[in-house]
Amino acid sequence: MQRIGVFVCWCGSNIAATVDVKRVAETLGQEPGVVYSADYQYMCSENGQQLIKTAIKEHGLTGIVVCSCSPRMHEATFRKTAESAGLNPYMVEIANIREQVSWIHKDIEEATVKAIILGRTAIAKLLLNTPLTAGETGVTKRALVIGGGIAGIQTALDIAEAGYEVDIVEQRPTIGGRMAQLDKTFPTLDCAACILTPKMVDCAQNEKIDILSYSEVEEVKGFVGNFTVKIRKKARYIDEKKCTGCGICMSVCPSKKGLNEFNMNLNNRPAAYIPFAQAIPNVAVIDPEQCIKLKTGKCGLCSMKCEAKAIDYTQQDSFVERNYGAIVVATGFKIADLKYFNEYGYADNKDVITSLELERLMNAAGPTKGTLLRPSDNTHPHVITFIQCVGSRDISGCGKPYCSKICCMYTAKHAMLIREKYPDTEVHVFYIDVRTPGKNYDEFYRRAVEQYDVDYIKGMVGKVYNENGKLMVQGSDLLSNEQITIASDLVVLAAAIEPEPSVRKIATLLTTSIDTNNFLTEAHAKLRPVESPTAGIFLSGMCQGPKDIPETVSQASACAAKVIGLLAKDKLKCNPCVSISDDSMCIGCGTCANVCPYGAITYVDKEFRLGGGKTEVRRVASVNEAVCQGCGACTVACPSGAIDLKGFTTKQIMAEVEAVCKR
């Protein structure tokens, strides 16, 4: 018979204000199997934990129920407490009387009764608990970073710095990501390329870092510490090892109609190309959609001119399979689709552009070599109107409900740069709110208004239309309460940002969760912001939520610290709540192996004694405890009831159902 101790936490007044904790402790103390009960202000505190430890030792407890906050909060804490007092950590059950009781119910009587029922339910389950021992697995001392933008680069550099090997998988032909496309960065206005490209070179030169560019993650197997990842290296049609990056193929390629993605499709590039001069790896790639040789079989100019003999039209996608201990997602963002925002005329007017397109137009390496010219007629725009929150903070369903966070700052930057370079230009900004929290951010914005005379108009824009070659921006000025129309030469939309679409596929491969806006969910919004809820998967940069470069870099380094912490371990404890099959009941039908998402169940032939000296060999299920993640799909699918899930056994859940239904 078990000897159970019940510990009721007040959580200061969080629980005690609505739940009569004394009565809960007293009532539960009389339940069968319970030999000790107590209440205390903060069970999770040093003193509270001491109280639990003392009680375990003095009363010889075999299991404890803690009535407190959610098990997602402190289950691990109390398991450690129990363990340090010599109890098996899995002989601990939590009754969630804060999130499920005191915080949502106001009536003290009602709340107290519910707390007692939840306590009883936990006791009913605990009576059927058995001590569980976690197995151990090794850790592969290598990390994978998915995405080679500033977030991925920083994470990889920091991990490599600690002495571990890192692979960066980047879907584009070069690393650098969005930051490589930017002109200047706020609030210091240093040039993006000047601070980013040295880091890219560091990555290429670091012997611990392997860059797999133009590659995608295809398949992920395994679990924390022991992932096996299959990576598809897309055919470049160029031998990476031979290519010297001289660029001759680019200059001789006769097919020059491909849209230059790096320049936001503002100009064209040849079919054989290097995305930009500082690309890492500095290796060309051939676009099969545009290459005349690959499409018609006639041409082959680049192959003739290439001195390194690097061109290989027969190249196929290849696959590499590697083992990793940890995986970092750093897939970044893109500009949201503006198809639902016809009022701004983005699709119809060449001179209505997004901010990222403006970055390219202002960049010295961009399509206009840094001179700000309108895309339609290559003239200098004299009146430029910026429109904020295009698709951000939009609850109509067309846009994004969140604030994209970086737009207020980069618009101030754009306005300032334009006024600095072209003082004859008039700059207007339509805004809903100006949000500039951050070190030196508000000062930066004020400089735009005060020193550079940028005209900030509080109000929304209803319509942008073309009239005699001028873009008429019709909006309201909420401060003067007037309808205004500004005849502009160029309209710049601060379009909402959204996670890179490939993140959905990656999240599915990694079995990690994603929120309604396609941002990856962190394990805890405040306390575990760089870890995903799936063990061994970490988050870096924009894939987790909108953030600017300084924040991205801090998060990337934080992420690296977490990865290093994991890789530094030699052994990891496994989750002991895994499936177990009862050989005597298993009929070897194969149903459980079919439903298992991890392939953790295999079949083995075992010899069974039948009595009278006879034996028979039967095929039975065998669960690989290191691979099983404990979802329980097999337990329900099993027709003979042979498989059960440790920690959540059928009997335990049945006991819980019975306990909650007891009136």
Partner 1 sequence: MQEINKEYQPLIVAFCCNWCSYAGADLAGSSRLSYPANVKIIRVPCSCRVNPMFILKAFQRGADGVIMCGCHPGDCHYTTGNYYARRRMTLLFDMLDYLGIEKERTRVEWVSAAEGVKFSNVMNEFAAKICELGENKRLEDLRCKE
Residues that bind partner 1 (CB under 8 A): 27, 70-73, 96, 98-101, 103-107, 109-111, 113-114, 116-118, 121, 508, 511, 513-516, 521, 533-534, 577, 595, 597-598, 629-633, 635-637, 645, 648, 650, 653-654, 656-658, 660-663
Rg of the chain in Å (alpha carbons): 31
Closest to partner 1 by CB, 98 or 236: 98
Residue 211, phi-psi category: left (phi > 0), alpha (psi -120 to 50), beta (remainder): beta
Give the strand pairing for 184-185 and 190-191. Answer: antiparallel
Least gap, CB of 91 to partner 1 (angstroms): 17
Least gap, CB of 114 to partner 1 (angstroms): 5
214: three-class secondary structure by DSSP: coil
Helices 21-29, 108-126: crossing angle, 10 deg rounding:
40
Closest to partner 1 by CB, 34 or 55: 34
Least gap, CB of 511 to partner 1 (angstroms): 5
The secondary structure of 506-546, three-state, reads HHHHHCCCECCCCCECCCECCCECCECCCCCEEECHHHCCC
Residue 555 burial class via C-beta count within 10 angstroms: exposed 0-12, middle 13-18, buried 19 and up: buried
Closest to partner 1 by CB, 465 or 648: 648
Closest to partner 1 by CB, 373 or 595: 595
Selection from 624, 631, 623 nearest residue 648 by Cα: 631
Closest to partner 1 by CB, 316 or 516: 516
Helices 355-362, 407-421: crossing angle, 10 deg rounding:
30
Closest to partner 1 by CB, 65 or 291: 65
Closest to partner 1 by CB, 557 or 635: 635
CB contact at 8 A, 276 and 365: yes
The residues, any chain, with a CB within 8 Å of residue 627's CB and separated by 6 or more, are 222, 223, 598, 599, 600
Least gap, CB of 26 to partner 1 (angstroms): 12
**N- to C-terminal Cα distance for the chain?**
25
d(CA 488, CA 387): 12
Least gap, CB of 27 to partner 1 (angstroms): 8
Closest to partner 1 by CB, 82 or 520: 520
Helices 71-84, 46-59: crossing angle, 10 deg rounding:
50
User: Can you give the length of the chain in residues?
Assistant: 663
Least gap, CB of 104 to partner 1 (angstroms): 4
Least gap, CB of 359 to partner 1 (angstroms): 32
Least gap, CB of 44 to partner 1 (angstroms): 16
